Structure 1
Amino acid sequence: MAKKWANKVKKWMTNKMELPADVMMDFPRVTVVGQFHVYIENHKGLLVFKDNELRLLLKQGQLLIKGSAFVIKTILPEEILLEGKIDEVIYINE
Structure 2
Amino acid sequence: MRKWQQNVKKWFVNHSEMPVDVVMDLPRITIIGQLHIYIENHKGVLSFSNEELRLSMKQGQLLVKGSGFVLKNILPEEILLEGVIKNVLFIDE
TM-score (norm 1): 0.92
Counterpart residue identity of residue 17, structure 1: S
Any idea what the Cα deviations from partners look like across 1:16-56, whole Å, max 9, x if unmatched?
Answer: 01321111001111110010000000000000000000000
Q: How far off its partner does 1:93 sit?
A: 1.0
2:28 matched to which residue of 1?
Answer: 29
Q: How far off its partner does 1:11 sit?
A: 1.4
State the alpha-carbon separation in 2 of the partners of residues 26 and 4 from structure 1: 15
Structure 2, unmatched stretches of 5+, are none
Q: Give runs of ≥4 in structure 1 deviating > 6 Å.
A: none
State the alpha-carbon separation in 1 of the partners of residues 46 and 71 from structure 2: 13
State the alpha-carbon separation in 2 of the partners of residues 92 and 79 from structure 1: 19
Q: How far off its partner does 1:91 sit?
A: 0.7
2:9 matched to which residue of 1?
Answer: 10
**What is the percent sequence identity of the aligned residues?**
63
1:86 matched to which residue of 2?
Answer: 85
TM-score (norm 2): 0.93
State the alpha-carbon separation in 2 of the partners of residues 77 and 39 from structure 1: 13
1:56 matched to which residue of 2?
Answer: 55
Q: How far off its partner does 1:6 sit?
A: 3.1
Structure 1, unmatched stretches of 5+, are none
Any idea what the Cα deviations from partners look like across 1:44-89, whole Å, max 9, x if unmatched?
Answer: 0000000000000000010000000100011011100000000110
**What's the RMSD between the two structures over aligned residues?**
1.1
